[in-house]
Amino acid sequence: MTATQNAATLTDTTLEVDNLVVDVLTESGWATVVDGVSFSVRRGETLGIVGESGSGKSVTCLSIAGLMPPKQTRVRADTLRLLDHDLTRLSPKEMSDVRGPTISMIFQEPMSSLNPAFTVGDQIAEVLRRHEGASRRESKRRAVELLDRVGVPSPARRATQYPFEFSGGMRQRVMIAIALACNPDVIVADEPTTALDVTVQAQILELLREIQREHGMSVIFITHDLGVVADICDRVLVMYAGQIVESAGLDELFEDPRHPYMEGLLAAMPRMDNPSEALASIPGHPPRVGAMPEGCRFHPRCRYAAEACTGGPTPPLELVAAHHTTRCLRHAELTLKGNP
């Protein structure tokens, strides 16, 4: 996919990625785990990235943010632009300066992302001191403000407490406060609600929506839960075996999926509002890193696979409608079932 095919031509783009390739060092040598990923994110937009575990969705975002371990990772891209910064040219030190004010991450497990030995207030204040040179006093005051902003009750008292004194939902609010501290242009949320109860998940999603309305930042939301995607995303990338296999606006993707993998994912979601339908599943497993099938990477699990799908190079991402691409050779012949 070239940048022009994407919706990237719009002026208000905060992040632009073209042909991102990430190799990681495994026991059996270098293996490509992200293979030619291109996309862009607009200001104020929530872009969802979905796929099964191991599809490369997290590695894509960690690589963009420069958070993959450098010795075991090789990151290449034709374009990796975050606002005015060309990320391909930044040293790790420069990247670390850029990160706070422009891009920040929220991870799945807030307990392991927070330092158990420091108070929550200190950890938020540290970000402000590091990136904005705020004074000790000023940063403490703003940490309390941020806790208040993300809905932590009695923020002044809570700022002096340690992570273990917080519930899972409250810890995730603290992580959001840290991510918000420098008012970044892009927030990457990597399965931020997966470890939470549905009731708390609903609170956190609401909070993210509110913050985005106020600050207008771009959000990249990584998840495997299509229900969460339907709730919060504007546009979605579907990843499989290190590649984007489909991308479209939210409604179009769910109503009119054009890749058999997306159709399979939709059919596999158990629906509370329609329990009688048998649960479909996609047979087999995603391919292992370093053992990618010839032709379409999904063909061994695809019920529509034809002779042409089983060999040759990986099919290209093709534009099938405005802002809707799919990596399927048979997309024109197939009528796939969506979830309106």
Partner 1 sequence: MTAQSLPGRADPLLTVRDLEVTFAPRKRLFRERIELKAVDGVSFDLTEGETLGLVGESGCGKSTTARGLMRLVEPTGGSVRLEGRELLGLPAKELRSARRDIQMVFQDPYSSLDPSMLVRDSIGEPLDVHVKLGRTERVERVAELLRRVGLPPEYMTRYPHEFSGGQRQRLTIARAIAADPKILVLDEAVSALDVSTQNQVIGLLEELSAEIGLTYLFIAHDLSVVRHISHRVAVMYLGQIVEHGDAARVFDAPAHPYTEALLSAVPVPSPRTQRSRERIVLSGDPPDPSRVPPGCRFHTRCTYAMDVCRTEVPPLTPAQGSGEVACHLHTAGPRLAGASVRTLARVSA
> What residue ranges bind partner 1 (CB under 8 A)?
52-53, 153, 167-170, 197-203, 205-206, 224-231, 250-251, 254-255, 264-266, 268-273, 275, 279-282, 285, 339-340
**Closer to partner 1 at the Cβ: 91 or 281?**
281
Q: Are residues 63 and 57 in contact, defined by beta-carbon separation less than 8 angstroms?
A: no
| CB of 175 vs partner 1, minimal distance in Å | 16
How far is Cα 159 from Cα 180, in angstroms, rounded to an integer? Answer: 16
**Closer to partner 1 at the Cβ: 94 or 251?**
251
| CB of 160 vs partner 1, minimal distance in Å | 19
| CB of 270 vs partner 1, minimal distance in Å | 4
**Closer to partner 1 at the Cβ: 85 or 224?**
224
| CB of 59 vs partner 1, minimal distance in Å | 16
| CB of 68 vs partner 1, minimal distance in Å | 22
**Closer to partner 1 at the Cβ: 198 or 322?**
198
**Closer to partner 1 at the Cβ: 44 or 151?**
151
| CB of 69 vs partner 1, minimal distance in Å | 22
**Closer to partner 1 at the Cβ: 197 or 294?**
197
**Closer to partner 1 at the Cβ: 113 or 203?**
203
Q: What residues pair up with 62 in beta bridges, in sequence order?
A: none
| CB of 282 vs partner 1, minimal distance in Å | 4
